[in-house]
Structure 1
Amino acid sequence: MQKPHNGFAVMTIVCANIRRTYPPSKTDKQQIQERGATMAYLNTSAAQGSTFGFRAAAIFQNIATRIRQRRIYNETFDGLSALSNRDLADLGLHRCNLRQIARESAYNATH
């Protein structure tokens, strides 16, 4: 499939080179069986995300996702940082691991 400069895909039509009559005669059926059961098909898939609007929407969606991830990171880190060392020990956590835990909760949760 080729994609011209305007961002839309070119429609592709592929047909078998068997001459057919309708209704199919016995010779047509034999010819189809001899050459294989190749049928005609039409491919009309368009290239998504190739126009400026789609790219701009993807950029804004990516920015919104990053903002949500950063908000989750900050909330998690601030919440864990507010705990005392004793509370962290009760949870089985160390203060040196708080950034890693916050990063995992924010960035792995959205994937």
Structure 2
Amino acid sequence: MAYATHTPASLAPQSGFPRFLGSVAARYARYSKYRRSISELSALTNRELSDLGLHRSMIKSVAYEEAYGASA
């Protein structure tokens, strides 16, 4: 007995090179957000940072949490 199945390409899971490109694009977007956050927070004065409840030593960890959603 033989079976035939048909899976339309639009419903098939994404794999191969397009999936790789999507992964690279997502990583680049997160890294860009991280770098932009560091840049913007570094441009603030110590007084402005303290108004936000931050210290200059916390900039990288706050930027990481913003971009990646987890504590460093």
Q: Distance in 2 between matches of 1:104 and 1:45?
A: 44
Structure 1 residues 94, 48: closer, same or farther in 2, change over 3 A? same
2:26 to 45, 65, 78: 65
Once the two structures are TM-superposed, the CA of residue 108 in structure 1 deviates from its matched residue by: 1.6
The answer to which structure has the higher strand fraction is: 1
RMSD between aligned residues: 2.2
Q: Say how many residue pairs are matched.
A: 63
TM-score normalised by length of structure 1:
0.50
Indicate the residue corresponding to 1:26 in structure 2: none
Segments of structure 2 that go 5 or more residues without pairing to the other structure are none
- Which consecutive unaligned segments of at least 5 residues does structure 1 have? 1-10, 12-43
Displacement of 1:45 = 8.8
Displacement, 1:77?
0.5
- Tell me which structure has the larger Cα radius of gyration: 1
Question: C-alpha distance in 2, partners of 1:77/1:55?
Answer: 34
Mapped partners of 1:95, 1:45: distance in 2: 58
Tell me the TM-score normalized by structure 2.
0.75
Q: Which has the higher contact order (CA 8 A, sep 6+)?
A: 2
Deviating runs (4+, > 6 A) in structure 1? none
Higher helix content, 1 or 2 = 2
